[in-house]
Amino acid sequence: MAHFAQLNEDSLVLRVLVMNNNHEDNQEGYTWLVATFGGTWLKTSYNGTIRKNFAGIGFTYSQTLDAFIPPTPFDSWVLDEETCQWQAPIPYPDDEKNYSWNESTLSWVEITGE
């Protein structure tokens, strides 16, 4: 099985489809996708061995990084170009409590049961 992401003209992922391929190079599935739907298609993988992250609808493809990048969860977060994952400007606390990010205060806020 091979997974392919369709991109629009702004490199935004529109959909991800799985293809049953009989060839190692996945050319058969790719050729069928282009012939059937047109557009630009790129291979993606669940285990992150291709293009850093498994593509999802709303992700963006960076040609420079050859990676699918998820939407940023908050405006203050910064992209780690090695992993292509978003990082908070302040590390998540390491005290075994649960926290959520507060964008207005740029801080982690403990989640309590109250």
Domain ranges of the chain: 1-69, 72-114
Q: Are 52 and 79 in contact (CB under 8 A)?
A: no
Alpha helix locations (H) across 9-100? 27-37
Q: Are 97 and 69 in contact (CB under 8 A)?
A: no
Query: Would you state the structure tokens that stand for residue 30, as one six-digit string?
Result: 């790719």
Q: Residue 114 above 90 pLDDT?
A: no
Model confidence pLDDT, tens digit, residues 14-72? 999 998 766 555 678 888 899 999 999 999 998 888 999 999 999 999 999 999 999 99
Query: Would you state the structure tokens that stand for residue 110, as one six-digit string?
Result: 């403990």
pTM score of the predicted model: 0.86
Residue (of 85, 78, 10) closest to 53 by Cα position: 85
Alpha helix locations (H) across the chain? 27-37
Model confidence pLDDT, tens digit, residues 76-91? 999 999 999 999 999 9
